[in-house]
A and B are shown apart, each in its own frame.
Chain A
Amino acid sequence: MTHSSKAFYWMAIPALLLFVTLHTVPALTGVFFSLTDYAGYGTWTFIGLENYFSLFKDDRILSSYSFTFLFAITTTIIVNVLALGIAMLLNAKIKFQTAFRGIFFIPNVLAILIIGYVFNFIFSNSLPLLGQWAGIDWLSTSILANKDLAWLGIVAVSAWQSIAFSVILYLAGLQTIPADLYEAADLDGAGYWRQFRSITFPMIGAFFTINMVLALKGFLQAFDQIVALTGGGPGTSTESVAMVIFRGGFQGGEYGYQMANSVVYLLVIVAVSVIQLRTLQRKEVDF
């Protein structure tokens, strides 16, 4: 088997080299700059861990972390519940299946400018009309302009936009379930809910894990949709970590400082994902 194992190395090593050159080296360079006062241009000096000390004294950074977590966890749960449901729906014997698959795919392809404009419009014009008609107070004005509710608007739009991505993965997962399992269950007289719990969900467990981890990781890095919907406002109530990094680091000239923030952010994301993987995989049925 030596020649076959040699072939395996040949398959992997060129990719590894490219990856190290184009990803790992830049990442380490970025980490290094977190120890400097580099502005992204011009000269710099090495300042040790000073950026990291300043970070923990910066209340704006801390509040951006708490907003980001609240937002990311809520959206991840909503997206996965809905995406799994829609994937099963699209996989069922429905009429116009192709057309529906196309339609549910659209939000993922729409440009962020469109999404921002259309939903700003819906939130500030259409929904308030509905709210006034129904006499619901909090809905009678734009929820994006409400300091306490704006984040829910962002959750809704982010979920709307990213469900398609999770649906694609869930659909791929549903294809891997052998049909005879359902036939056997039908014969045993298992109900719909029972089939979902004992066949569908366990069989796509790996895809559920992948989707949960990816969604949380993606929403922890949310940026575009927040800029398009609220610009971090009202005030700084919906400012995400990625937004603080971009505004301060690339537009604001505090590159080194925001690199330190990025490193902490990386560690936080990894820690959260590892915990998440451990918990989810324990529940996953290996097949």
Chain B
Amino acid sequence: MFQLKHWRARALSAALAAVLLTSCAGPPAGNVVTLSFFQFKPEAVQEFAGLIDEFEAANPGIRVLQNNVPDPDTAIRTLLVKNKTPDVLTLNGNASFGLLAKACVFADLSQEPSAQEVLPAVQDILNANGRCRDSEINGLPMANNASGILYNPEIFAKYGVSVPQTWDGLIAAAETFKANGVAPFYMTLKDAWTTSPALVNLAAQLQPEGFFDRLRAAGTDRNNSPVSFSKDYQEVADKLLQLFTYAQPGAAGVDYASGNKAFADGKSAMYLNGSFAVPAIRAANPEAKIATFPYPVTNNPANTTVVSGVDVTLAMGRETPHRAEAQKFIDFLLSKEVIDRYAKNQSAFAPTRSAAPQQDPALQGMASYFTSGKLDGYMDHQLPPSIPLVNITQQFVLDGDKARYLNTLDNEWFKIAARMPKRGDQ
């Protein structure tokens, strides 16, 4: 009896050991190069897993280890202090990416064949966030988002409103809906960041040429700066406030998720957001009617641009020992076929010349601006990320105190310029 039990236990542990060994062993170590791949988007894990399978099948000598980490901003810093900079990375092309690029964390990709394929307007937006040297390219765009006004074509048709081409047209449309008892916009002020799609579009078209370059050049000297938020953002602030006067009652307590649901269910004619909200709106209601148009910020339609950011930026660790393999992987991810598929599956815009135009009817309204390069970058990517821009803007939209808003922005900007004299204008 005892004997038997003992024998069984031994067999069981042997079987367990075998399972553990086979599951850990993987393919033979031979000449296989393993690339560590930092992938920042949780929603794209499956997408990239599929892409990696394809890539590995075509390149038997290379294995790619996808690492999707929560809180990518913090996670990438911990990898840097551990001296474990990933071989290949995706990151959002925002101000934090710019800071890392300035610190020369990423390799120069300007000689990459796929770099020649990128739409110049998009590459400029990315480069403007910051790079190691002016001759370098530290990140290549794989997918872009676009912020624009989402609208419900059925409601527009019902009240005979056509897509506004000018600022006055936009306000007239809002008034028409309001007069008919339809919420013109659905505002979600509980989530501070949802004030920023409108802000960045107004800023992109209304701020003076070279505003941030001149602001940086002013250094710490607030009094003698040729530009400032108080001087140059008056119209931006006025128009922002004007849009938010159309907020539905109780908007201050509504969060983004509820806003998506409300817009999806046809509770408002328009929604101040962008392409990134489309998948969420469809998840809330698969039947949602969505179309888009760019923010008509002035009364001259020729001025209208689309504010776009690089949603997925590909970068390479500067000191990677596997440069050739990393390059191969990046080239694969930037191939026409992969870019097109990714854009389609993730409701994104493809940032390369050869890419197929975005077919999603919800994004049609902005697609032509993309191909013609009428693009602007996000204004908040130019601000140091330690300024709580969205919170300050949320406060302004709630209390309407314009002088205080612009003064706070100036105050924060010059305070940080004084703290980081070197980093501020690198």
- Which A residues lie within 8 Å of B99 (CB)? 39, 253
Closest CB of chain A to B333's CB: distance in Å? 25
| B204-229 with Cβ < 8 A to chain A | none
CA A253 to CA B426, docked complex, whole Å: 14
The smallest C-beta distance from B393 to any residue of chain A, in angstroms, reads 9
Interface membership of B410, Cβ < 8 A: no
Give residues 385-411 of B contacting A (CB, 8 Å): 385-388, 391-392, 394-395, 398-399, 411
The answer to whether A141 and B385 touch (CB under 8 A), given A41-B77, A250-B73, is no
Chain B nearest CB, measured from A150 CB (Å): 10
In contact, A144 and B190 (Cβ under 8 angstroms): yes
Main secondary structure of the interface of A (DSSP, over half): loop
Q: Is the CB of B74 within 8 A of A251?
A: yes
Residue of A nearest to B393 (CB): A235
Contact of A128 among B80, B192, B253, B412 (CB under 8 A): B253
Q: Mark the stretch among A52-60, A102-110, A196-204, A273-281 that contacts chain B.
A: A52-60
**B180-208 interface (Cβ within 8 A of A):** 189-192
For residue A123, which residue of chain B has the nearest CB? B253
Asked if A31 is at the interface (CB within 8 A of a chain B CB), the reply is no
If A141-B252, A142-B252 touch, whether A40 touches B77 (CB-CB below 8 Å) is yes
Q: A252: which B residues are within 8 A, CB to CB? A: 96, 384-387
Number of A-B residue pairs having CB atoms within 8 Å of each other in the complex:
114
B395 touches A41 (CB 8 A): no
Residue ID in chain A nearest B104 by CB atoms: A42
B10 contacts across to A, CB distance below 8 A: none
Give the chain B neighbours of A205 by CB distance below 8 A: none
Residue A147 CB within 8 A of the other chain? yes
Residues of A close to B191: CB separation below 8 A: 231
From A41, A51, A234, A251, contact of B385 by CB (8 A): A251
Q: Which of B263-271, B277-285, B351-359, B414-422 forms contacts with chain A?
A: B414-422
CB nearest neighbor in B for A51: B419
| Chain A contacts for B416, CB-based, 8 A | 254
- Min CB gap A151→B, angstroms: 15
Q: Which residues of A contact B394 (CB under 8 A)?
A: 233-235
Contact B386 A248 (CB under 8 A): yes
A142 to B250, CA, bound (A): 8
Give Cα A257 to B415, complex, Å: 12
Chain A residues contacting B74 (CB-CB under 8 Å) are 250-251
- Is B386 touching A40 in the complex (CB atoms < 8 A)? no
Is B302 among interface residues, defined by CB-CB distance under 8 A?
no
Question: In this assembly, does B100 line the interface, its C-beta being within 8 Å of a C-beta of chain A?
Answer: yes
Pick the residue among A41, A128, A247 that contacts B386 (CB under 8 A): A247
Interface centre among B103, B252, B392 (most CB of A within 10 A): B252
On whether the beta carbons of B385 and A124 are closer than 8 Å, the reply is no
Say yes or no: B253 contacts A124, CB within 8 Å: yes
Given contacts A124-B253, A141-B252, contact A58 B96 (CB under 8 A): no
**A40 CA / B384 CA spacing, docked (Å):** 15
Contact with B103, one of A42, A144, A232, A254 (Cβ below 8 angstroms): A42
Most chain A Cβ neighbours within 10 Å, of B192, B253, B418: B253
A91 contacts the other chain (CB 8 A): no
Residue from B103, B192, B253, B422 in contact with A41 in the complex, judged by beta carbons closer than 8 Å: B103
User: Which residues from A are CB-within-8-Å of B412?
Assistant: 60
B387 — nearest CB in chain A belongs to which residue?
A: A252
Instruction: Give min CB distance, A179 to chain B, whole Å.
Output: 47
Interface residue? B288 (CB, 8 A): no
Give Cα A41–Cα B420 distance, bound, in whole angstroms. 15
Q: Chain B residues near A235 (CB, 8 Å)? A: 391-392, 394-395, 398-399
- Residues of chain B at the chain A interface (Cβ within 8 Å): 73-74, 77, 80-81, 96, 99-100, 103-105, 189-192, 250, 252-255, 258, 384-388, 391-392, 394-395, 398-399, 411-412, 415-416, 418-420, 422-423
The 7 closest A-B pairs by CB, nearest first: A142-B253, A235-B395, A252-B386, A42-B103, A145-B252, A248-B386, A145-B253
6 contacts between A and B (CB under 8 A): A37-B423, A39-B423, A42-B103, A58-B415, A128-B253, A248-B386
